[in-house]
Structure 1
Amino acid sequence: MRDHALAPPSAPHLTGGLADSLFETAARTPALPMIARRTGPASSVWEEITAVEFRDEVVDLAKGLIAAGIAPGRRVAIMARTRYEWTVLCHALWTVGAEVVPVHPTSSRDQVEWILRDSGCVAVLVEDEQGVMTVGSVCAGLPLLRHVWQLDAGALDQLVARGRYLPPATVDSMRRIVLPDSTAVIAYTSGTSGRPMGCVLSHRGLAFICDTLLAGWGHTAAAPGEQGAVLAFLPFSHVYGLMIQGLCVRGGLLMGHEPDISGEALSAALRTFRPTYLYAVPSLLEKIYKNFLRAAQQAGRGALFERAAGTARDFAAAVERQRLSRGPGPGFDLRLQHALYERTVYRKLRAALGGRVRRATSGGSPLNRDLCLFYEGIGIYVHDGYGLTETSGGVTMQPYGREKSGTVGQPLPGTGIRVADDGEILVRGPSVFHGYVGDEAATRAALNGGWLATGDLGRLDSEGYLTITGRKKDVIITSSGKSVAPAALEQRLRMHPLVHQAVVVGDNRPCVGALITLDPEFLADWRAALTLPGDAPAREAREENALREEIARAVAAANSSVSRSESIRVFRVLPQPFDVTNGLLTPSMKLRRDAIVEHYALEIDAMYRSRTRPGRTRPLEESSGWEDVDNVFR
């Protein structure tokens, strides 16, 4: 068993609750800009809200919550997108000692009912009429629920008016009785299989992650003398989003909110808000890269971009070898070539992200090493981090000046990591949760002697860097007994511009297969670039053949990273993407593998049956016909 831990952190000692830092900042630097809000729904202008203005809004809302009967220990759900009001309400609830229960706004009726009932919420704030209808349809089974507030119907203003008669001293007295080990959040797991479970997260646990990161890495959020700025667009219903909110408020970073994560809206927000630090997930960073490539191809400069991207990766790899004392660094020719592309390509790419992003963090799932190197090469180093709902967010971080792409870094100071003999990652430290709501058996199964069994697989190298290799429950075992971790294959597949999503399958099958969805924008451009002769039916057939060959090349490229027995031998392209709304992705954009396999059971069966060749009498798993990649399209 491998074990690794760093020295305890130098972060400040927490004496109260999470809301205290806001009050301390407002008292110390009242004019510090803390929030930036658009002046209108479609405006490109952001107005700043100072620390004292933010605090006063929190106090006014806290008075309304007290008047509505929200007492310490009461649980209130927030079912809304990432927007300013979420942050205000969250801190108002913490101020009065209440517990926040985040619910993703697109959750199904059954999911909403389960979370509200399991957590015992007394109130829920929804965003719009659709949210009211969803909660209203399950109210009969929620005897503890007393309030349903609608954000777009002026709920916060009504609460403020309701508590106007209360003196601020009442709020202050309630805030001061909140203890560090009090429950701050009941965060429900993504529920990739089975019902989600509510993780009890304390004020101390959530603060520990934020304060440790700020103490060790806060200086990287912006250039010296400049206030860091972060655009929050990941859902606050997930612990990663809550961690970003905490980093901004506790670290005095200017935070903007973007509730619409469509490509066009997010791109506009990045250009106008101009963040200095970017928090994202791998799918977004992959999408940004592909958009860069697509824009270059549309301008007739696709080959130039690919040469520049290759140089960026080579340059970053050479710099990495130098900082890890494994090489001399980039040679003269590479530095010259990189400098040329900096003037002609890289700075334009950074400008598309606002022009001020210096570093970024990717979380939620592992990020492809080549993609890490690309971003570092164009001037934006991406930390690939690791954490869970049960650990209040982050567990590892890249040591500053010793970053190693392709890993998720080393354990945060004060956090211990072990890798068990079966490859499972075990974690302990101040951020580990207190248990699952109402499920002592599950809590005992997850926590053993203070160590959390994460369910993730990984390995620690000799320097303590952790590499994530997959999820324990996601490992595929073929009918021949071969064990395959799907994550690496899926990463490699998604790097092809045409591939949007990929799910590797093959449990109890003769070989590994894949379900693939296509990027609609790239697919349209790819089709437009084809020049095929013949009439319409002939062109359509040739186009389909060309597409099959292109996806087969993507599969072959992915297979080059694994052994032959682990390689993808069959695949099928699906007509629709996996999405949160169809229940095939979690709110944190993770694949619901069990749901996907169940939903596409017929397609998977057909994919494997298609490899059966007439006249063969041997069992399917013995057939040599599995040597070729399948080209099965719906």
Structure 2
Amino acid sequence: MRDLGLAPPSVTPMTGGLADSVFETAVVNPTLPMLARRPDPSSTVWEEVTAVELRDEVADLAKGLVASGISPGHRVAIMARTRYEWTVLSYALWTVGAEVVPIYPTASRDQVEWILRDAECVGVVVEDEQAVMTVGSVCGSLPRLRHVWQLDAGGLAQLAERGEFVPFTTVESLRRIVLPDSTSVVAYTSGTTGHPLGCALSHRNLATPCDTLLAGWGHKVVPPGGQASVLAFLPFSHVYGLLLQTLCIRGGMMMGHEPDLREEALSAALRSFRPTYFCAVPSIFEKIYKNALRVAQQAGRGALFERAADTARDFAAALERQRLGGGPGPGFDLRLQHALYERTVYRKFRNALGGRVMLGTSGGSSFNRELSLFYEGVGIYVNDGYGLTETSGGVTAQPLGREMSGTVGQALPGVDIRVADDGEILVRGASVFQGYVNDDASTRAALRGGWLATGDLGRLDSDGYLTITGRKKDVIVTSSGKSVSPALLEQRLRMHPLVHQAVVVGDNLPCVGALITLDPDFLAYWRDSLAVRSDSRIREAREENALREEVARAVAAANSAVSRPESIRVFRVLAAPFDVASGLLTPSMKLRRDAIVRHYALQIDAMYQARSRAPREQLSDEFAHWDDTDNVFG
């Protein structure tokens, strides 16, 4: 094994709970804007909420919780999208020493019942009547559940009104007895296999990576003479969203909320809120890039955009070589080209994110190196970090001035990383969780001598940069004994504008295969552009043939990153995308691989049978991985 960690920075030791940030900021800087909210979802006007106003809202809700019998150690679930009330309520719960149990609002009835029962919740906050009905349908099996508050029915206002008679001193007394190692959150894993597990995270667990990041990187998102701002749209039901919320409150960044993840709503919110710091998952960064390419192509400027994208990547790669001591930086011609595209392409791209983003962060899964270089080249460096629920989201980050795209950076100060002999990443540090609730066996399996076995595979180079290569349980072993990690192939497939999702298969099968879904927006544009050049009588046949070749090119491009035994030899385009409703994605949008393989078992069998019937000379053609009977339109 190899071991690597850095000395902790000078961060003030934590003495209380997460809610202290709200109350202390209200005393030190009462007029500092902490949150921003809109009168209604369609509004482009954001009303600032100062530190003292936030403190008062949190205190009023905390008094209501006390009046409702919520005590230290009680668990209350929040089943809502990323909205203003989520933040105020979570800090009110932490003020009285209660524990927050996040639940995805899209969770099924069975998932809701499991989490509420496993966590022994005494209360749950939901958004709407539909969620009330879901909770109501399982109440009979939840003897400890006493409260259901509905946000859209004025539940929080009623809660605050109920606590009017409770003295503020009572709230202060409860807040002051919350210790750093008290449990703050019980965050349930996505549950890609079996029931989700409840990860107990302490106040210190969540605060430690935030304080470390703020001490080392916080200044990178503060505009001159201004305040850092973040538009939160990632689910607070996921540890990445929780980490971002904690980062904002502890770091004095102004935070807005966007609960609607539809492209139009998110785009409008970005333009009106104009954040300085943009946090998302790789699929969001991919979608923004593809949308920009599609818009450019529709305007007849597709070739210009692609040349600008190539220049951005070349420029960023030259900068990377320079900062890592491997080159002189961009040459004169490259700098000239880059300056030209800055005026014609890059500025417009940044304006789509509000025009003020200084830094981005990607998390949730690995970020493609080519995409990382593109974003850096257009003026937004995206810090690709690594973490998981059991580490409160924070394990690595890119070192300032030594950033390396294609890796997730180095261990955060105070974190130790090891790579076991089988490639599994092991982590130790103050952000590692307390254990799984009600499951000592799983806790013992995950925590080995103080080291967390992450289940992720990776490698550390001699300078301590960590590269994630996949999930241990996702490794495919073909019938010939070849081990293949699907992450890289899937990531490269998704870089093609037409590809929306990709799942690599091949366990106990003769070769590697892939199931592919298409991006509906880009597919519609692609069809329209193709139809312009087609006779209506033969359009459908021409579209199908052209689409076969285009997807085959995407597969060939993905295969260029791996050896021939690891390459995709067969694939099939599916008629519908994987989604949460079908049970093929987790609420955090991760692939349920086992469920996908079971669901598409017949298509997978047909895909391999077609290959076995194909002539040997056909199999050598890079565009001949498609059986003639496949219908790319469904």
TM-score, normalization: structure 2?
A: 0.97
Task: State the Cα deviation string for residues 338-372 of structure 1 (Å, max 9, x = none).
Answer: 01111111111101110000110000000100000
Report the alpha carbon displacement of residue 194 of structure 1 after superposing the two structures with TM.
1.4
Query: 1:612 — aligned with what?
Result: 612
Alpha-carbon distance between aligned partners in 2 of 1:24 and 1:168, rounded to the nearest angstrom: 15
- Tell me whether 1:130 sits opposite 2:130 in the alignment: yes
Corresponding letter in the other structure for 2:4: H
Report the alpha carbon displacement of residue 535 of structure 1 after superposing the two structures with TM.
4.8
Q: Is the 8 A contact 1:613 1:625 kept in 2?
A: no
* 1:162-177 alignment runs, 5 A limit: 162-177=162-177
Report the alpha carbon displacement of residue 39 of structure 1 after superposing the two structures with TM.
2.3
Query: 2:246 — aligned with what?
Result: 246
Report the alpha carbon displacement of residue 627 of structure 1 after superposing the two structures with TM.
4.2
Instruction: Work out the percentage of aligned pairs sharing the same amino acid.
Output: 77
| Matched pairs, number | 626
Corresponding letter in the other structure for 2:490: E
Q: Is the 8 A contact 1:26 1:55 kept in 2?
A: yes
Query: 1:620 — aligned with what?
Result: none
Q: Is the 8 A contact 1:63 1:160 kept in 2?
A: yes
- Tell me whether 1:349 sits opposite 2:344 in the alignment: no
Corresponding letter in the other structure for 2:512: V
* 1:413-428 alignment runs, 5 A limit: 413-428=413-428
- Tell me whether 1:383 sits opposite 2:383 in the alignment: yes
Q: Secondary structure at the match of 1:26?
A: helix
Corresponding letter in the other structure for 1:481: G
Alpha-carbon distance between aligned partners in 2 of 1:170 and 1:466, rounded to the nearest angstrom: 47
Report the alpha carbon displacement of residue 394 of structure 1 after superposing the two structures with TM.
1.2
Q: Which of 611, 627, 630 pairs up with 2:625?
A: 630
* 1:289-438 alignment runs, 5 A limit: 289-438=289-438
Corresponding letter in the other structure for 1:149: W
Report the alpha carbon displacement of residue 541 of structure 1 after superposing the two structures with TM.
1.4
Corresponding letter in the other structure for 2:376: E
Report the alpha carbon displacement of residue 624 of structure 1 after superposing the two structures with TM.
7.8
Corresponding letter in the other structure for 2:603: E
* 1:515-534 alignment runs, 5 A limit: 515-530=515-530, 531-534=532-535
Corresponding letter in the other structure for 1:310: D
Task: State the Cα deviation string for residues 221-258 of structure 1 (Å, max 9, x = none).
Answer: 12233200000000000000000000000000000000
* 1:542-557 alignment runs, 5 A limit: 542-557=542-557
Query: 1:148 — aligned with what?
Result: 148
Alpha-carbon distance between aligned partners in 2 of 1:45 and 1:326, rounded to the nearest angstrom: 47
Alpha-carbon distance between aligned partners in 2 of 1:134 and 1:605, rounded to the nearest angstrom: 38
- Given the superposition, is the C-alpha separation of residues 293 and 148 from structure 1 closer, same or farther in structure 2, using an over 3 Å criterion? same
Q: Secondary structure at the match of 1:393?
A: coil
Q: Secondary structure at the match of 1:469?
A: strand
Report the alpha carbon displacement of residue 575 of structure 1 after superposing the two structures with TM.
1.1
Corresponding letter in the other structure for 2:370: D
Corresponding letter in the other structure for 1:514: A
Q: Secondary structure at the match of 1:427?
A: strand
Query: 1:560 — aligned with what?
Result: 560
Instruction: Show structure 1 runs of 5+ residues with no match.
Output: 617-622
Instruction: Show structure 2 runs of 5+ residues with no match.
Output: none
- Given the superposition, is the C-alpha separation of residues 127 and 147 from structure 1 closer, same or farther in structure 2, using an over 3 Å criterion? same
Query: 1:263 — aligned with what?
Result: 263
Q: Secondary structure at the match of 1:266?
A: helix
Alpha-carbon distance between aligned partners in 1 of 2:74 and 2:159, rounded to the nearest angstrom: 17
Q: Is the 8 A contact 1:78 1:86 kept in 2?
A: yes
Q: Secondary structure at the match of 2:149?
A: strand
Query: More displaced, 339-348 or 302-311?
Result: 339-348
Corresponding letter in the other structure for 1:411: A
Alpha-carbon distance between aligned partners in 2 of 1:410 and 1:224, rounded to the nearest angstrom: 28
- Given the superposition, is the C-alpha separation of residues 481 and 45 from structure 1 closer, same or farther in structure 2, using an over 3 Å criterion? same
Alpha-carbon distance between aligned partners in 1 of 2:613 and 2:575, rounded to the nearest angstrom: 26
Query: 2:460 — aligned with what?
Result: 460
Alpha-carbon distance between aligned partners in 2 of 1:624 and 1:454, rounded to the nearest angstrom: 44
Q: Secondary structure at the match of 2:613?
A: coil
* 1:88-103 alignment runs, 5 A limit: 88-103=88-103
* 1:567-586 alignment runs, 5 A limit: 567-586=567-586
Alpha-carbon distance between aligned partners in 2 of 1:318 and 1:348, rounded to the nearest angstrom: 23
Report the alpha carbon displacement of residue 316 of structure 1 after superposing the two structures with TM.
0.2
Task: State the Cα deviation string for residues 429-458 of structure 1 (Å, max 9, x = none).
Answer: 000001101110100000011000000000
Alpha-carbon distance between aligned partners in 1 of 2:619 and 2:478, rounded to the nearest angstrom: 13
- Tell me whether 1:68 sits opposite 2:68 in the alignment: yes
Query: More displaced, 174-183 or 624-633?
Result: 624-633
Query: 1:204 — aligned with what?
Result: 204
Corresponding letter in the other structure for 1:290: K
Q: Is the 8 A contact 1:611 1:625 kept in 2?
A: no
Corresponding letter in the other structure for 1:494: R
Alpha-carbon distance between aligned partners in 2 of 1:11 and 1:603, rounded to the nearest angstrom: 55
- Tell me whether 1:590 sits opposite 2:590 in the alignment: yes
Report the alpha carbon displacement of residue 601 of structure 1 after superposing the two structures with TM.
1.4
Corresponding letter in the other structure for 1:506: G
Q: Is the 8 A contact 1:532 1:543 kept in 2?
A: no
Task: State the Cα deviation string for residues 91-119 of structure 1 (Å, max 9, x = none).
Answer: 00000000000000000011001100010
- Tell me whether 1:449 sits opposite 2:449 in the alignment: yes
- Given the superposition, is the C-alpha separation of residues 147 and 407 from structure 1 closer, same or farther in structure 2, using an over 3 Å criterion? same
